[in-house]
Amino acid sequence: MLGASISTDPVKTTSYKVVLPFYAYASIAFFVATLLLFFSAPAFGRHYFHPHVIAITHTMALGWGTMVILGASHQLVPVLIEGKLFSNTLAYISFALAAVGIPLLVYAFYTFNMSWMARCGGELVIGAVVIYLINMGISMAKSKTENVHAVFVFTAGLWLLITTIVGLLLVYNFSIPLFSEDSLHYLSLHAHMGIIGWFLLLIIGVGSRLMPMFLISKYANAKLLWWVYILINMGLIAFVFMFLYAPPVYCYLLPVTAVTAALLLFGYYCRQAYRQRLRKQVDEQLKISVLSVVMMILPVILLIIMIIGLWVAGENARLVLAYGFTVFFGWITAIILGMTFKTLPFIIWNKVYHKKAGLGKTPNPKNLFSNRVFTGMAVLYLAGFVLFVTGILLSVVFVLQIGALLLLLAAGLYNFNVMKIILHKPVMP
């Protein structure tokens, strides 16, 4: 649930030139990730620490999810704080650092070469996050407007910084013994700080603003959102301390319970916004995003099963793979697929037609992309997702390859529509 507000106030709206590179890059990264998934499908029948699995995971986490979020934040945060983005230049620098660092990191993981390329890639990504946080922090400080959604966004950015620093240290740990254990031991810590601290915290903070807006709902409950914020952060901090001090496995159910409670509260928030909506007809793009809220519970269910399984019988690699896949190709991807076509068309419409509005009939933002292509993409995506998860759990390579092919086709259709929007030329009577 990421993207621009419908505000057209030039003081609060960041230039499209800042936002579009992030969207375009993320779109290509999604296609690359599904292409790698297709050619590396057999790896998902093995161990989750396979080089190809790690490379695909970071392509999705950084190139796909994070780049969309960084771009969208530059446009949305000024609206949330009712002020201006501090610096477009810093936004460009953040993009450039991440755009160079991510492929270096992914290639290093794919070839499992943790030398200068992996280190340089990680350092560039950290630099991008630091620049992003400086830009967001100064923007919020200058506005002097308190907003629970903005707090979610900035806190998520801090967790992203911690996640990337830990990730870089784990890269160095392959050749320099920085920690008492090998890097695989700390993988769970690194992953969950990113999944919960960065993605979950930010998506809930932004989604709780955009969902009512797109439904044209007046529902708002800041107190409930503060409880969600506290529960997620308490749960994640508890997990970090438990990981470091190694309590019995069943103790991990406590932070999972806190995060689950936060998800249930957020689900209630979305349900109330949906029930109190003025727009009775919900379009296909928003339906996908609503589905993504439901899909949040799938990783939680798998996580609970993994904890109980680890407690009783030891680690199950298939469940770990399925868990990671449902996070990046399920919940996060479903959100982005839906909200891209609720937000990007407006950004381009505002660029092309804002000054021409009133001079003649202009197309609606939703007419800037093909709804038939979007529907086809959604069907292929859902079918591919279900088949691939099934292939992981059953460890059947043929099913994995069919699921990956469907996801690749879905990514191709997504790219077609995104480029159709970005390259749109003015049409006037």
- Both tokens of 92, joined, read 């460009």
Q: What is the pLDDT of residues 308-318, one digit of tens each?
A: 655 555 566 77
* pLDDT value, residue 168: 96
pLDDT for 292 beyond 80: no
CA pair distance 204, 147, nearest whole angstrom: 14
Mean of pLDDT over the chain: 85
Task: Provide the pLDDT for residue 210.
Answer: 80
Task: Kindly report which listed range (162-171, 303-312, 330-339, 350-359) carries the lowest average pLDDT score.
Answer: 303-312
pLDDT of residue 293: 64
| Whole-number pLDDT of residue 8 | 41
Domain 16-347+365-419 is of which CATH architecture?
A: Up-down Bundle (1.20)
pLDDT per residue as tens digits for the range 383-417 = 999 999 999 988 899 999 999 999 999 999 999 99
- Between 307 and 153, name the one with better pLDDT: 153
Q: Is the pLDDT of residue 214 over 90?
A: no
Q: Write down the pLDDT at residue 311.
A: 54
Sorted by where each begins, the domain ranges of the chain are: 16-347+365-419
Q: Which of 23, 67, 69 is nearest to 417 (CA)?
A: 23
Looking at residue 245, its pLDDT comes to 86
Tell me the one-letter amino acid at 78.
P
Alpha carbon distance 379, 64 (integer Å)? 20
Is the confidence at residue 10, as pLDDT, over 50? no
**Listed range (22-31, 246-255, 276-285, 330-339) with the worst mean pLDDT:** 276-285
What is the pLDDT at residue 1?
46
Of all residues in the chain, what percent carry a pLDDT higher than 90?
Answer: 46
Give residue 310's pLDDT.
53
**Strongest mean pLDDT among 41-45, 353-357, 406-410:** 406-410
pLDDT, tens digit, 9 for 90 and up, residues 112-150 = 999 899 999 999 999 999 999 999 999 988 887 778 999
Task: Look up the pTM and report it.
Answer: 0.89
Closest by Cα among 418, 428, 409, 429 to 368? 418
Tell me the two tokens of residue 22.
């992030």
Q: Which residue has the tokens 């419409």?
A: 349
Q: How confident is the model at residue 419 (pLDDT cuts 50, 70, 90)?
A: very high
- For helices 67-81 and 88-110, angle between their N-to-C axes, nearest 10 degrees: 160
Confidence of residue 154 (pLDDT cuts 50, 70, 90): very high
Residue-wise pLDDT for 75-122, tens only, equals 888 888 888 889 999 999 999 999 999 999 999 999 999 989 999 999
- The rounded distance, in Å, linking the Cα atoms of 239 and 237 is 5
Beta-carbon contacts of 72 under 8 Å, excluding residues fewer than 6 positions away, are 2, 3, 4, 19, 22, 206, 343
